[in-house]
Amino acid sequence: MRKTTRIIGIDPGLRRSGWGVIESNGTILSYIASGFVTSTNTKGLAYRLKEIFEGLSYAVQIHSPYEAAVEETFVNDNARATLKLGQARGMALLAPALYGLVVAEYSPNLIKKTVVGTGHAEKGQIQNMVRLLLPKASFVNSDESDALAIAICHAHQRSRADLRIV
């Protein structure tokens, strides 16, 4: 007997964090909702992080997922930007964890490889595959489609992921 699992995927960002909720029943995926949280760039870092945390917490409260998946941080040459992204990612990990969800983490390459078939897929390819796999999906930007891709990745990889609550 298959069990339906509701998953929230989160694409962390300091300016905009995308989230997407799907249900997975074996190989059958269903779109539930998606959106994004923005932070006010004229506010201090602590207040921007608070906005991200509150927005993602609200998405978790409203859609009641059982599991969460978050993209791992992509490290770039700008150390300051990487640190700020890491702090936003901390909010993306904390929000579902505080609600008792199991939280898994996936690298950008694994997400792309799982959804598109190649670890170096472009944004347009990811969006097209998300539309193909979730025909009822409605998203306005790549943050939402990336979050849905993260949820799809988790649906396919969850049997291999370390899903223990620590």
- Of the residues 72, 105, 122, 143, only one is catalytic, namely 143
What is d(CA 63, CA 34) in angstroms, rounded to the nearest whole number? 10
DSSP state, 75? Answer: P
* Residue 21 near residue 152, CB atoms below 8 Å: no
**Do the beta carbons of residue 69 and residue 8 sit within 8 Å?**
yes
Phi-psi region of 60 (alpha: psi -120 to 50; beta: other; left: phi over 0): alpha
Determine whether 111 is exposed, middle or buried from the number of CB atoms within 10 Å of its CB (0-12, 13-18, 19+).
buried
Say whether 71 is catalytic: yes
Q: Which of 71, 105, 144, 146 is catalytic?
A: 71
What residues are labeled active site? 11, 71, 143
